[in-house]
Amino acid sequence: MGRLDHKVAIITGGARGQGAEEGRLFAAEGATVVLADVLDDAGRRTADEIRGARYVHLDVRSEAEWQRTVDSIVEHYGRIDVLVNNAGIDHVKRFEQTTLEDWERVVAINQTGVFLGMRTVARAMLAANRGGSIINISSVAGMEGVKGRAAYGSTKWAVRGMTKTGAIEWGDRGIRVNSIHPGIIETPMTAGLRAFTDADVRARTEHTIPLGRVGQPIDIAYMALFLASDESSYCSGQEFVVDGGIHH
């Protein structure tokens, strides 16, 4: 039997990168997977590649779209067992150069989107009274300050805080909430960084990582699989850093 047999999972930002890899792994381990994103063409292609997967359009900034999405999943499958709040955007700009428009866009997707996802899915989990696992993708930028990421880092710290509050409030109903904090991961979102466009910069970057390589989406997917499965049944309100050993 698979580790996620009979579980229904929704993964935001599921069209590509980490979300798509999580979808593939979850499905391989027996889950019914719903991929949610705003990249409709890519999302449909990814879902078509995953046996039994379904794609839905979801702008995580929209309260109404979250409610429609959750209602549709519950109506179709009867419940939601796992939420992976993976959708997010990066933003690299010095603090004093960050505009209010920059700030509000990053907060809307990375922070408000996670809040709406947690709240809407938790309501469905509470109503079903079956417990569940909520997995929030934060970042190592949610563990320490990172130069050039005032907006991005602030949202990832917020995700860390929301994770802990959710774990405390919903623990007695069997809902576990944890956060994953990736380091440097090679995904479409990070493809423009010099660590991935300049061979010399990549070599220097990898030299600073104790395990000697940048991360891949599957590295995050395996951690998400653990947290989605019953094997992590005594883990809640915790940060799981996946960064090749930089933080120690």
Burial class (CB in 10 A: 0-12, 13-18, 19+), 122: buried
Annotation marks residue 152 as catalytic? yes
Q: How many residues does the chain have?
A: 248
Quote the CA–CA distance of 158 and 72 in Å, as a whole number: 28
160 in the Ramachandran plot: left (φ > 0), alpha (ψ -120 to 50) or beta?
Answer: alpha
Residue 123: Cβ within 10 Å count? 12
Using an 8 Å Cβ cutoff, are 237 and 178 in contact? Answer: yes
Q: Number of helices (H) and strands (E), helices first, in the chain?
A: 9, 7
**Single-letter code of the amino acid located at 204:** R
- How far is Cα of residue 163 from the mean position of the Cα atoms in its chain? 12
Residue 98: Cβ within 10 Å count? 19
Consecutive H or E run containing 182 = strand 175-182
Using an 8 Å Cβ cutoff, are 171 and 164 in contact? Answer: no
- The residue from 55, 77, 152, 234 that is catalytic is 152
Using an 8 Å Cβ cutoff, are 4 and 30 in contact? Answer: yes
**Residues that are catalytic:** 152
